């Protein structure tokens, strides 16, 4: 008897990947499930692994990459202050290249012929998985069932998948009344589909959030935390040293109980369509606020403005899945150098969904009070501004004399 070809499935235990175990077996494959542990806050790992085995997976393993996700992926993006379309903190986007990396490592261990993912073929994840996998292994074979007509004929949508799971007694969180697609990791939780596909529906009223309370239910008392940075990396919380994972996890709890970090937006997907998603990222929202404040004190104007112009480019690359490429390597080398002076402490205040900066402190501070003071004295001489403005205004005076404006 010929042995079956082996495949590694990026397995989340959710609706799509649970269905895929059965479908791949029907196609004659031996399925090896890999649950990439990214710190998903609301998932029962033991139950998810047992479900894979019960459905028929040849193996179900966990790859714990939580620390790597925070230190090597999330924090470099944080240093860039990268937000896709000025809002989205890229929690799902950041994690996908790491999932591909872990699955390829597992495929090598079991001798698999292909890497399988459950991205729908309409969204961004198919790009992120495939671009990362091909960059790491140019010979990789990728099976993406949602891009296969025979799979879509069997499962035109989530309704049919839910019916399949019910028929096979496969437990899933999604239901016909709440068919939301969610993606979890320690950085955030995203929610799509269901009633969220109607932009007139208030998204935060229909989601059972997993990391945050509503601002209305948050304590009626301000809570303060102090975040310490070294070269743009958060390293202490209230004076205590923290690993990257500990930093994110503890701030998730603190900011989450104060209702911080929820957003609802319509974004432009890489494939060209607009989509609506609700996100919660309490810890990362706090870190973005603290990091920006630390930069305000320690980075000079021209470097900050250059970083700001490039930040949108980095966010777009992360969103599209262009993580393992020469351009990103160069950009990451740049930001590592640029962030060297970003060290010190920022005190944050949380109150009913709001996160604000309460104070700054840094030995690298470029803020010199005697220069900036509105009081008299100091080393700044206002007389110097006369010549400065005459020089700056020279082109305007020349233009005005040659081409007078009506006014």
Query: Per the annotation, where are the binding residues?
Result: 10-18, 88, 93, 118, 120, 124-125, 128, 181, 190, 267, 279
User: Is residue 143 helix, strand or coil?
Assistant: strand
Active site residue 349: no
Cα 155 from chain centroid? Answer: 29
Q: Which parts of 141-273 are beta strand (E)?
A: 142-143, 181-184, 189-192, 223-230, 233-237, 240-241, 262-268
Which residue ranges make up the annotated binding site for ATP? 10-18, 118
Of 247, 331, 328, nearest in space to 67 by CA: 247
From the list 16, 182, 262, 343, the catalytic residue is 16
Identify whether the C-beta of residue 247 lies closer than 8 Å to the C-beta of residue 287.
yes
Helices H, strands E: what count in the chain? 14, 14
In the annotated binding site for L-citrulline, the residues are 88, 93, 124, 128, 181, 190, 267, 279
Q: Per DSSP, what are the bridge partners of residue 277?
A: 265
Among 106, 125, 307, 362, the active-site one is 125
> Which of 264, 23, 231, 255 shows the shortest CA–CA distance to 145?
23
What distances in angstroms separate CA 377 from CA 171, 373, 383, 384, one per listed residue? 72, 9, 13, 14
Catalytic residue at 125? yes
Q: Which two tokens stand for residue 309?
A: 């112009």
For 84, 117, 134, 153, 181, the CA distances from 96, given in Å and listed in that order, are: 15, 11, 13, 27, 16
Per 3-state DSSP, the chain is made up of helix, strand and coil in percentages (nearest 5) of 45, 20, 35
CB 324 within 8 A of CB 97: yes
Among the listed residues 66, 100, 106, 181, the single catalytic one is 181
Sequence-ordered alpha helix ranges (H) in 169-211: none
| Binding-site positions for L-aspartate | 120, 124-125
The answer to whether residue 198 is catalytic is: no
Q: Taking Cα atoms as reference points, which of 161, 201, 199 lies closest to residue 181?
A: 161
- The residue count of the chain comes to 407
Catalytic residue among 96, 106, 158, 262: 96
Q: At what angle do helices 125-136 and 301-320 cross, to 10 degrees?
A: 100
Q: Is 16 a catalytic residue?
A: yes
Q: Distance of CA 81 to CAs 211, 262, 266, 327, Å?
A: 22, 18, 20, 18
**Pairwise CA distance, residues 391 & 104, whole Å:** 60
Instruction: Say how many C-beta atoms besides its own lie within 10 A of residue 191's C-beta.
Output: 23
Positions annotated as catalytic residues are 16, 96, 125, 181
């Amino acid at each position: 008897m010929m042995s079956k070809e082996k495949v590694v499935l990026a397995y989340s235990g959710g609706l799509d990947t649970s269905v895929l175990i059965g479908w791949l077996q029907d196609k004659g494959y031996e399925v090896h499930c890999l649950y990439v542990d990214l710190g998903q806050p609301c998932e029962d790992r033991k139950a998810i692994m047992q479900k894979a085995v019960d459905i028929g997976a040849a193996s179900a393993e966990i790859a714990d990459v939580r620390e790597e996700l925070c230190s090597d992926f999330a924090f470099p993006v944080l240093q860039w202050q990268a937000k896709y379309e000025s809002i989205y903190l890229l929690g799902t986007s950041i994690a996908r290249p790491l999932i591909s990396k872990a699955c390829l490592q597992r495929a090598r261990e079991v001798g698999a012929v292909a890497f399988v993912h459950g991205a729908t073929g309409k969204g961004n994840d198919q790009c992120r998985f495939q671009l990362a996998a091909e960059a790491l292994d140019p010979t990789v074979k990728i099976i993406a069932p949602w891009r296969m007509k025979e799979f879509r004929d069997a499962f035109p949508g989530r309704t049919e998948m839910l019916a399949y799971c019910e028929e096979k007694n496969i437990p899933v969180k999604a239901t016909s009344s709440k068919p939301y697609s969610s993606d979890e990791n320690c950085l955030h939780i995203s929610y799509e589909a269901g009633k969220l596909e109607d932009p007139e529906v208030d998204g935060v009223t229909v989601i059972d959030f997993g990391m945050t309370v509503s601002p209305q239910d948050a304590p009626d008392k301000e809570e303060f935390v102090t975040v310490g940075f070294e070269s743009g990396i958060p390293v202490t919380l209230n004076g205590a040293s923290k690993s990257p994972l500990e930093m994110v996890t503890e701030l998730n709890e603190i900011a989450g109980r104060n209702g911080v970090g929820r957003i609802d937006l319509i974004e432009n997907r890489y494939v060209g369509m607009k989509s609506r998603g609700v996100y919660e990222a309490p810890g990362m929202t706090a870190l973005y606020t603290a990091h920006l404040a630390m930069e305000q004190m320690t980075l000079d104007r021209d470097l900050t403005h250059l970083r700001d112009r490039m930040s949108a480019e980095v966010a777009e690359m992360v969103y599209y899945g262009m993580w393992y490429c020469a351009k990103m390597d160069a950009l990451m080398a740049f930001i590592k150098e640029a962030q060297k002076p970003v060290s010190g402490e920022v005190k944050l205040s949380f109150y009913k969904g709001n996160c604000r900066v309460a104070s700054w402190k840094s030995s690298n501070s470029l803020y010199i009070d005697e220069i900036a003071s509105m009081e008299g004295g100091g080393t700044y001489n206002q007389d110097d501004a006369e010549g400065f403005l005459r020089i700056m205004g020279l082109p305007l005076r020349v233009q005005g004399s040659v081409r007078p404006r009506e006014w």
